Each structure stands twice: as C-alpha cells, then as structure tokens.
Structure 1
Amino acid sequence: MPYTKHDEDEFKRELKTAIDLVVQSNHPKKIVVAGPGAGKTSLFKTLLAKSKEANKEASHLVVTFISALADELRHDLSGLADVFTFHAHCKQLLHQNPYLREGLSEDFTLFPKLPTVIKSDWSFLHAGDQAPPHFVKLMRQAVDGIETRFFLERSNYYDAVSFDDMVFRVYLQLAVAPHAAERHELILVDEYQDFNLLEISLLDLLARKNPIVVAGDDDQVLYGALRSSNWNFIRDCYSSPDFKAFELPFCLRCPEVVVGAFDDVVRAATAAGLLNGRIPKKYRYFPPSKERDSAAHPNLQVIKTSIQKSGGGNYFGRVIAEVVRSIPLQYIKDSREDGYPTVLVIGNKQYLSQISAHLKDLGYVLDEKEGTEGEEDQITREDGLKVLKGDAGSTLGWRIMLEVDKPTFFTKAVARMLSTKPLVTIIPKAYRVSVLAEVQKFEEPAAKTKGPQPEFGKPTIKLTSFQSAKGLSAQYVFVVGLHDGDLPRNPAKIDDIEICKFLVALTRTRKQCFLLLTRRFAGVPKNPSLFLSWIDHSRKKSVYADAKYFKELEKHARPHTS
C-alpha cells in the first residue's frame, strides 16, 4: 500500500529527530551507530555547520581509513573540515611537529615498501632467527617492544617512513606527552569499525583534548585480516560509559526489498547463534527517498546458471551484459552526474576475471583493479633508481639497490654497511659509478592515469572484491559466486565476517540487486550459498539460465551497442 503524505512527513520527522539528538547533545564523546546508506555525511555536514556558526575560525578534523572514502568526504564536506586518512593526517603532523618526528628530518621520505627493507635488515643483523617479526602487525596492535623499536631505529637510519609506522610514531610520542596533541573544535571519525587498535589508541589520546564523534557499524567489519580491525573495538566504544550512544535508524540508499533481505539475514544469523555481541540497531526502509525505486524493483533477482566457464559458457558474463543493455538511460545519467557506478559487480577473483573478459570482448569499458596480489611489497630496481634520481646520496636509495643486486661486497660486510651513514660513502667506486650511470638514464614511468571512460550516455561498470566494495554504491549491483565453499567457505562453520561481506554487498544497491550462482563452475559442481536460504522467498524472483534460456534471448535480442 502506498505511503500517504502524512506517513512521509512522519518518516522525515523521525529522521530529523535522530539527527537533532546528536547535533544538540553537548556530550564531548559521542558514538553514532549507522548502517549502510544511513546518511552519515548529512549528519557530519550538520554537525560541522553548527560548529562553524558558533565560531567561523573553528578547526575541524575528519578522519577515515581509506583514500577513496576520504576523497568522497573531502568533496562532500568542502570548506567545513580538513579531511584525511589516518596515515595522511599523521604524515602531516610529522612534517609539522619536530617532537613527533623525533629522529627524522623535516623532509623525510615516504616509502610504502619500507617494512620489506627493514625485514631484510633484521634477517641480516639477526642471523639465526627463524623469521623477521611482523612489524606492521605489531605496530597495528600498539606493541612498544624490541621489534618495533628496531623498526623505528632503521626508519630513522633511512630517514624514511611507511604508512603504519607514521601512526605508531605519533601515538608513542603523544602517549608520553598528551599535551602535545593538536586542538580542534570537533573531530569526526568515519567507519570507526575498520580502525585497528593502534589507530583507536591514538584517537583516545586525541579525545582527551578534543570533542569527538565516531560513526560506524559492526555489521560492516570487513578488514580484520587485512588491517587488524576487530568488532570489539566499536562494541566496546558503544558500551563505554565515556561515550554517549546515538543511532541513524533509516537506510536512505536501498529499496525496500534490500532492507528487508538485510533484516532476514541478520535474523537468521542470530537464530543460528552467530553475530554474538552485535550492537542492537534499527535499519529501516525510508519511503520518502526510496518508494519509487522500491515499486520499480520489488524483488531480488536470483539467477542460477547451468554452467560458468570461460568462452561460450561464460553465462555470468552473458547475463550481466544482457541486463546492462536494458538499464534505463535516466539511471545511467543520474549515476554519471553524481559520480557513482551505474553497475557494480562484486565477487571473488575467479568469477570477476571471466566476467571482465566477456564484457571487454563486447567493448565495454571497465573500472577494475589490476595487478598481482602481493606485488605491492616487492622491492624492485626501479624503486631504488627512483629514490636516487631525487637524491643521489640517499641511504635508502642505495640500500634498495643493494637489496636487489646483493653484491658480494655487501653480503660479506653487512653489519658494517648497515650501520654506516651515509651508506654511499663505503660503497665501492665501480659499483657506485655503474649505478649512477643507470640513474642518469632512468626515466620515471608516467603516473598512472584514470583509464578510458565510457562514452557519454553509456553505463559505468566497476568490478570489485567484497572488501573493496565498502564505500561504494551503484544503480545495479551483481553479487556473483554465491555458493557454499565460496561464501560461506564452510556452511557448517560460518565466520561472522562472511555474513558482513554478504550484508555489505547487498546494501551497495540503489535500484536493483542481482544474486548470481551456477550449478557447475569450470566443470566442478556447486551448491547454492546457505545465505540465499536465509532470505524470505517472497523477496526473491528466480531465473534459471541455461543454453535454452540464451537461445530464447537471442531470438528477441536487439543489436548490441556498448
């Protein structure tokens, strides 16, 4: 039954009340529990605008955990606050404050692969140890010990930093001298659930001197293994007597069927004894924003294919291509004008690679992450040449070259060479001259630019993993590979993070959500994901796509244009 004008006014009033409770509270420490698409940015704008009204010169800081989210917030909060990732903010602090950067020069080098260099140093200088410490993991756990102090000493030696050690340096220095913390009228923290113990410990130090509002949701913790984040951090904050808790109760992004499916999954997971300790929260459909979309797209489209493989059996790719061809032009126009993808395909690599190949064969321009997993940590010759091109005497640059080449003069006198600074002073002339000749000829590769964009009026299509889907949304969302063995990996032993992955994927949807699975992948039988059975059958519309299905499509197909 359609909602009346009175109903809509009541929904808007309830949302405004939820926001006003946060804005009008004078409590110095607040936590706002906000599910996917709950309108945190609007809340942030209101909080910052109120502070600016009271003091036009007010200093505001907004921090989040990845660059893409920081860029989006920087755009949305333009002129109201300084917006950073935690790493970028700590880098700025180190440049500005000699106390915080103790042991580094003001012009220190940011070298993301520094942990790889220092692991090698440890192995050379601690011969006989089984393996070097996991320096980054230890720092993320805020461990101040022999291993992390070794890292900082080597970092000073190279006058260089990487990402997590910048945060670690600031934390250690402020823990000793909290009065050295910067002052702001307001600090806002987005995606609090994805911060690790080090970052949360630093926030606690900053909150001693500054009013703070943290926003997040324990249903969206996806980075535990990657960033050492943990559900308990946001849950502890929510239950802490030091913080006053609020919530944003509505989803302003998704149609009714998606919000209903979200509720189904949470209810089924809880009944199965999962999601223990979950923060109780409302997550409700918001008709004033989504009634029209909900009427146009009343079901989740569950598409099961008979097979999935490369080539002619690439049924996932064919299904997606057929749907993309039918997307209304207004949907495409809206997504392109507002800067979000028209289509978002979420899944594991083995499925995304095949879908990508099919769509590219049809001429579609795709936005997808390229590269090999782990290659971001590998030291290359180009890394050293690049550093030396900027500073021919750089100890870091010469150390990189020695790491790559491992000349005999280095391996026979490691301890001496790794304790001499500048390192270049004890490098044999012949090697030095040879490398500098290489540096002279070296031309740094041009910075990677954005790939080609689809023509005007064509849909933008992004392919991404479950983790990288965070912070994104699209008109049409395809969640692919929904099988037991994939998601969840083991239906008899489900990990809460797998439930969170599914919830995050569903709630990227602005208009229509498609759930794709197959009977056989590359010849191997597949069973439907248990998660699909958790969604009420009335919300799903099922289609079986086999050879007969595609033959029927071809009979009625119009000419393809990408």
Structure 2
Amino acid sequence: MAGADSTLLSGLDPDQLAAVTAPRGPVCVLAGAGTGKTRTIVSRIGHLIHSGHVSAGQVLAVTFTSRAAGEMRTRLRGLDIHAAQARTFHSAALRQLRYFWPRVVGDAPWDLVDAKLRLVGQAAHRAHASTERDALRDLATEIEWAKSSLITPADYPAAAEHARRDPPAAAELVAKVYAGYEALKNEARQLDFDDLLLHTAAALEEHAEVAEEFRERYRCFVVDEYQDVTPLQQRVLDAWLGRRDDLTVVGDANQTIYSFAGASPRPLLEFTRRFPEAVVVRLERDYRSTPEVVTLANQVISAARDRPAGSRLRLVGQRPKGPDPRFAEHADEPAEAAAVAARVHELHEAGTPLSEIAVLFRINAQSEAYEQALAELDIPYLVRGGERFFARQEVRQAMAALRTACGNPPDGELPGAVRELLKPLGLVDEPPSGGSAREKWESLLALVELAEELTSTVPEADLPRYVAELEQRAQAQHPPTVEGVTLASLHAAKGLEWDAVFLVGLVDGTMPIQHADGDDAAIEEERRLLYVGVTRAREHLSLSWSLSRTEGGARYRRRSRFLYGLIPEDHPAARVPLARRAEPARPAMARGMNPVRYCRICGDKLVGTMPVKLGRCQNCPSDVDQGLLDRLREWRQERSRGLRVPAYVIFTDATLQAIAEQRPADRAALVAIPGIGAAKLNNFGAEVLALISGDQA
C-alpha cells in the first residue's frame, strides 16, 4: 500500500500534493483552468483509499457530465480502483432511488418521462398557452430552472421577478403550465430528471433508516465542478452528508457559465463559512496552455467587475513559449469562415491532427457558415451536440457484430481482432476520399483506437471486456475521439481542450449576447464564457469577428467590447476604428459615433453598461414615468405572445426602463438609446413612440 501511494503522489506539484494529502474532512480545491484538477481528484481518492482512511466502495464522486464521470472512472481504473463510484448527480440519484423506492413509496418504481415536451404541451394547451414547439422548449427550460432552484409553481411568479428572469410567457401563465405539467406527470406515475434529485433528497430527509443505510454505505464524497451546483443538487449533497464533513469540492468561480440554468458559485465561495476548519488549496499552475494563451486568459478575466475573493485565481503558464494569439477582422461572416477554414488546413498540413482543432461560437446558429467553409476544402468536421456517436448506424452495427463475436472471440491481440471484425462493415485499409463513406470509416477506426487505449491500461483485456467498456461508454455518452474538426458552442466546449482553438463571431450582440445588455451580472457571465473559450486552447488561439452578417452587407457590427485592451496596439484591427470605415449611411449610433456619453442629469462622463443605457449616473435620481413603464411592459408582453418569442427579444427590461426615463420624442432620439438598432426601430419604433405620446390605439 505504501509503495502504491508513493507512486500515486509522484509528479504532483506542491499545491496538487497539498490537496491530495489533505487530512480526511472538508477540503476545498480552487482549481483554475488547465491546472490538473482531474488528476488531483483521482489522486486524492487513491490516497484516501491506499492510506486506509476509506475503502474504495465507500467513495462517491459526482460531476456534471457523463463524459467527465466516464473520464474519472477510466483514470480510477488505471490506478486499479474499481469499486469507487464516479457518476453524475442524476445517475447517482437514479441508482439510489431504484434501490430505496420499495421502502419509501411501496409500489412499483415510476418510469422516467420519455416525452417531456408532450406533457408540457398538454399542460400548455390546458392553460391556453402557446403550443408551438419552440414555445414548449422555452417553457420546459423555465420549468427545469424552477425545479433546480427549488421553486414551486405557486412561488414561481415572485421568484422569477426576483431573479430578473425573462419568462417565455407571463409569469402567472408559466406557473399555470408548470403546475399542470407536474399534475400530468404524477397522474402518469412518471419522474423527470429533477424528480430523481427531489425524491432522493426527500427519501434521505424523511426516512431515518434509509439515511442510516446510505450513510453507512458511502462515507467519502467528492464533487467536481462545484461552481455549477444548483440549489437542488446542493440539497441532495446535504442529504447525502447528513452531519458529516468528509467532503472534497473542486471548482473555479471564473468558469461559472450556467447561472441561467440555476447554477451558482455561492456554495463554493462560502465553503469555508460552512466548514471553518476546511483545508483550502489553490491550483494556479496551468499545464494546458502556453504562456501566451495564459496571459490572454488572465487579461480577459481580470477585467471582470466585483470578483469575489474565491475567484481571484491567476493562472501561471508552465509550458514552453508558443505563438501569440491571433486577432482578425473580416468584412463578413462568409469571409471569416473561409479564413478560418484556410487556417485549419494550414495547421493540419503542418502536423496538427484535425481532432485537435476546434471552432467555438456563442450560439449554434453560427455553425452553418463554418460547416460550409470546411466542406469546401474537404475538411471533415463534427458538430458537437449533433448526432451522438453511439447513435450512428455504423456504430450500432459494429457493436452488434462485436457482441455476437464474444461467443467465439478471435485469437490475437484485442486491437487487431476488433479491426478484423469491423472490416466487413467498411473499415478498409485506406480511408475513403470523403463524404458519408469517410465519416463511417472514421467512426469504425475510432472503435479500434478505443481498443488500443483499453489495452494500454488493461493489458489482459479481451473482447468481452472491450464490449462491456463500449456499452458502459454508450450509456454514459462518453464517445471515443473521431478525426475531424470540432464545431461547438462555448457552453458545449466546457471541460474540453484542443491544440488549436478558433473563437469566432466575437461581435457585440453575440459576445456578449444581446439580451445580456443592461444586466451587469449577465454581462459578467458572458465574459466568463469567453474566458472558458480562451482556456480551451493549448497552443494556437485565434479570435475573429466580422463587420457584416452577409456577404457584401452593410458593415454595422462592432467587435466585442471584451476585446478592447486585448488586441496589441500595433495590430491593424486595433489601429483602424470602425467609425472611419466606408459603409452605407445609417443612424450615427449604429456607426459607433460619439462613444463617450454624459449623464443627462449631472453632466459627468458615464461609465458602465447600465448608466450608458439609462443616460444617467447610477447615483443620480431616476425620473422614470412609471405609468409609461407599465404600458411598455404590457405592450411588450402582447407583442412577444403575438410573435411567439421571449419578451427580451422585443426589448430588455433595461431598455424599457431607459425609454420610460428618457421619453424619446422621435425616431432619432429612440435609436440613440443603446440596445435599439435599425431593426428594432423599424419593427417597433412607431408603436413605442405612440405609447410615449399617449396616441396608442
């Protein structure tokens, strides 16, 4: 045991070693991006087991994605630790609930909801809400937020207002749909994913014998990505712990990017308040990225406002020097996509595998231009969040063939045997030239490479063992690496890394997203999202933006406000202000003219998003016309229903506040308010001006 523990601890840096060897009890690891947190977590589990503090079967490690849980299990297996549990919160809760259900409820276990939108649609129909598919998705998302935040239907309207939500319909109507959905689900004796957590917590809170048995079974808990915990997940964790404190949490408040879904870094930041005796370790040595990438990441996050003490990690690059990050401005999105594809080709020709290149964007709708540009250069790509690997037809066929072969496995080493079994399905010696045949070949090759990976960690692995690994990965949605450029949203890229990363479409209105304007907390979350994107890159990092959405279109867009101060002064994009570019005439504000604004009350220079939007300093008195503000809100609600879009798509709360304070008298004054561009002026300007003048119908 001592020898195994010595091997386990070798190669750790001083901070990692302090986290791994901290005494049993509450431990908080503040781990920056690329600082080796997964290795630290796994090593701590191994150390606790090898030093006799806990048996492997008494460890429960939870994280937020099936992929991360699968990676943790793989690493634990590499340390010859097989009994420790590494699961997502929902997977762990489902397992526990199935075991305790007969004692807690007494009848047959309820099934999981298999058609959530159908139930939401029935509830929406009964409540006379929109039943369009997009509207139902928005309602389902809002119900998930409420449940993960421990908010009941009755409490939803007040909670939504307090949280400054932009509900997809009137708050009272959302509450009615929410209540109807819960009733329909219970009538059908079904559970959704949030119910798994709610019922698990209730079982432990309300049944002493259940809690006693569970706490006898699991005595040591590890939580990864703790900055993303929701109130509901924290309630489950509290129920697991009881009065015990054998808990290790790992997180980074700088990577909190799921607040919209109910996640909060508060439990991480307040960990030492709850456990005053907790050991706190900061991991700041970045082993992932070059110093140049690390420097840019630090610049991005250091510009954040009011950073709490627990989030002030400053990464220190540990790798050799690399290339400087690239910045590029383009006339339009097609030109930007073509330039990115050309650079991808250049990197690949220089030796970077396509699977080590990613193009990351703020919203999924941006993917199309890059798919087309890569396809034109015959560069294979994968859209993360598209068809899942294990759902592909060729993968299902391959798994069926491999299962059948387990009855009479071929001789020889596992990788060679897998290759031979997959040849009849299309795994020829040379890759096809392109198209669907090439994608199919890449999928089959990935299965062979997974066999090679398994053999490297479990040399005695045979075909049945390999098939079991495949089925476990399929259940956890933990696919092998497939050769091709990854296209993904910034949210989907969380937890991943590549040698080369392209951050594209970095314009105001997209990064930060338009509906974040006027909300300082939302803007800061957008900044953290960019920080997450930057820290995905190991060596090559490119940041780009385009001035027009369409080829040859008006160049009305401005690069993201987050880029100011990041672009080197000698860079062409830093030298040429947008206001000097030749472009079609349009309102002065859209051209970026007169960027310095002054308070209309005291005359001081305005600083900050909200003061600029409202046209006054934060401390200057508001002169809002409350009656006009109420009329604007009622009008927005009616228009959002009619257009079947969220209310913020019409105007954000902050924009309505600015209108009600400034009471613009004409189109020029209206478009001068930040957040009101040419499109909104054309679509809604006349109606808003009529509301202001009192001439509305």
TM superposition score normalised by structure 2 = 0.56
SS in 2 for 1:20: helix
Match of 2:144 in 1: 136
2:568 to 532, 537, 555: 537
Cα distance, 1:247–1:114 mapped onto 2, change above 3 Å: same
Write the letter of the residue equivalent to 1:166: L
Cα distance, 1:236–1:480 mapped onto 2, change above 3 Å: same
Correspondence 1:269-348 to 2 at 5 A: 269=304, 274-277=305-308, 279-287=310-318, 290-291=319-320, 294-295=321-322, 297=323, 299-308=324-333, 314-327=334-347, 332=352, 341-348=356-363
C-alpha contact 1:304 1:516 (8 A) present in aligned 2: yes
1:361 partnered with 2:363: no
In 2, the alpha carbon distance for the partners of 1:150 and 1:492 equals: 33
Residue of structure 2 in register with 1:110 after alignment: 112
Name the amino acid aligned to 2:360.
V
Q: For residues 441-463 of structure 1, what are the alpha-carbon distances to aligned partners after superposition, in whole Å with 9 as ceiling and x for unaligned?
A: xxxxxxxxx96465989952111
Q: Does 1:176 align with 2:211?
A: no
SS of the aligned residue for 2:332 comes to coil
In the other structure, the counterpart of 2:525 is 497
Picking from 46, 51, 66, the partner of 2:48 is 51
The partner residue of 2:271 within 237, 250, 254 is 237
Post-superposition shift, 1:284? 2.6
- Corresponding residue for residue 21 of structure 1: 18
In the aligned structure 2, how far is the partner of 1:258 from the partner of 1:303?
16
Aligned partner of residue 27 in structure 2, secondary structure: strand
Query: What's the counterpart of residue 527 of structure 1?
Result: 558
Letter matched to residue 534 of structure 1? G
Match in the other structure for 1:3:
none
* Secondary structure, counterpart of 1:253 in structure 2: coil
| Preserved CA contact (<8 Å) 1:94 1:100 | no
The counterpart of 1:90, out of the listed 93, 104, 107, is 93
CA contact (8 A) 2:360 2:533 kept: no
1:282, 1:347 → 2: CA distance? Answer: 24
Indicate the SS of the match to 2:147: helix
1:361, distance to aligned residue in structure 2 (A): 2.9
User: Displacement of 1:113 after TM fit?
Assistant: 3.2
- Which residue is equivalent to 1:417? none
How far apart are 1:50 and its partner, in Å?
1.3
- Residue type of the alignment partner of 1:521: R
Q: What's the offset of the Cα at 1:20? A: 2.5
State the alpha-carbon separation in 2 of the partners of residues 67 and 503 from structure 1: 23
Greater mean deviation of Cα atoms: 240-249 or 35-44: 240-249
Q: Is the 8 A contact 1:35 1:248 kept in 2?
A: yes
What letter is aligned with 2:65?
A: I
Structure 1 CA distance for aligned equivalents of residues 545 and 489 of structure 2: 16
Q: After superposition, what is the alpha-carbon deviation per residue over 1:179-214, rounded to whole angstroms, capped at 9, x for unaligned?
A: 623232421111111121100111122222462111
Take 2:117 and 2:247, find their aligned partners in 1: how far apart are those partners?
32
Q: 1:29 to 1:302 in 2, by over 3 A?
A: same
Q: Which residue of 2 aligns with 1:206?
A: 240
Which deviates the most, 75-84 or 453-462?
Answer: 453-462
Question: 2:303 aligns to what SS in structure 1?
Answer: helix
Does residue 217 in structure 1 map to residue 242 in structure 2?
no
Distance 1:541 1:459 in 2: 35
How far apart are the structure 2 equivalents of 1:328 and 1:360?
15
Of 219, 225, 229, which aligns to 1:191? Answer: 225
Deviation at 1:88, TM superposition (A): 1.2
- Answer whether contact 1:365 1:452 (CA < 8 A) is retained: no
1:444 aligns with: none
Contact kept? 2:149, 2:230, Cα under 8 Å: yes
The offset of 1:541, in angstroms, is 8.9
Secondary structure, counterpart of 1:279 in structure 2: helix
Distance 1:154 1:478, change over 3 A: same
Gaps of 5+ in 2: 1-8, 155-174, 388-437, 447-481, 576-697
Q: Measure how far apart 1:31 and its partner are.
A: 1.6
- 1:40 matches 2:42: no
Matched residue SS, 2:237: helix
Tell me, yes or no, if the aligned pair for 2:254 and 2:301 is still in contact at 8 Å: no
Q: In the alignment, what sits opposite 2:59?
A: 60
Higher relative contact order (CA 8 A, sep 6+): 1
CA distance 1:27–1:538, shift in 2 (3 Å): farther
Deviates more, 1:47-56 or 1:513-522: 47-56
Once the two structures are TM-superposed, the CA of residue 517 in structure 1 deviates from its matched residue by 0.9
Deviation at 1:526, TM superposition (A): 1.5
Distance of 1:471 and 1:482 partners within structure 2: 21
Q: Distance in 1 between matches of 2:440 and 2:372?
A: 16
Aligned residues of 1:171 and 1:202 also touching (Cα < 8 A):
yes
State how far apart, in whole Å, the 2-side matches of 1:257 and 1:540 are: 16
Corresponding residue SS for 1:303: strand
Structure 1: distance between partners of 2:188 and 2:375: 44
Deviations 1:85-139 (A, max 9, x none): 1111111111111267626623x32224347516635864x799x9999543332
Distance (whole Å) between structure 2 residues aligned to residue 100 and residue 216 of structure 1:
36
Cα distance in structure 1, aligned partners of 2:384 and 2:528: 22
Q: 1:518 aligns with which of 539, 542, 546?
A: 546
Change (3 A) 1:238 1:210: closer
Instruction: Rate the CA distance shift 1:77–1:98 in 2: closer, same or farther, 3 A.
Output: same
Between the aligned partners of 1:85 and 1:100, the Cα distance in structure 2 is 24
Q: How many residues align?
A: 434
Decide whether the 8 Å contact of 1:221 with 1:231 is kept in 2.
yes
Query: Partner amino acid for 1:84?
Result: R
Secondary structure of residue in 2 paired with 1:77? helix
Report the identity percentage: 19
Contact 1:254-1:511 at 8 Å conserved across structures = yes
C-alpha deviation, 1:481, in angstroms = 0.8
> Is residue 500 of structure 2 the alignment partner of residue 468 of structure 1?
no
CA 1:539 to 1:285, structure 2 compared with 1: closer, same or farther past 3 Å?
Answer: farther
The answer to which of 71-80 and 164-173 deviates more is: 71-80
- Give the C-alpha shift of residue 300 in structure 1: 0.7
Residue 161 of structure 1 deviates from its aligned partner by: 1.8
1:301–1:542 Cα contact (<8 Å) kept: no
More strand by share: 1
What secondary structure is seen at the aligned counterpart in 2 of 1:527? coil
Equivalent residue, structure 2, for 1:251: 286
Deviations 1:305-340 (A, max 9, x none): 1222xxxxx22222122222222578545x86xxxx
Give the residue type in structure 1 aligned to 2:299. Answer: D
Per-residue CA shift, 1:463-510, capped at 9, x if unaligned?
111111101111110000111222124677651111111100000001
Cα 1:239/1:542, change in 2 over 3 Å: farther
- Report the AA paired with residue 138 of structure 1: A
- Structure 2 Cα separation of the partners of residues 371 and 307 of structure 1: 26
Give the secondary-structure state (helix, strand or coil) at the position aligned to 1:282: coil
Distance 1:170 1:116, change over 3 A: farther
Cα deviation per residue 1:61-92 (whole Å; 9 max; x = unaligned)?
11111222223223233335322111111111
Q: Is the 2:26–2:275 contact (alpha carbons within 8 Å) kept by the matching residues of 1?
A: no
1 CA distance for matches of 2:105 and 2:571?
A: 59
Question: Separation in 2 of the partners of 1:100 and 1:116?
Answer: 31
Partner of 2:295: 260
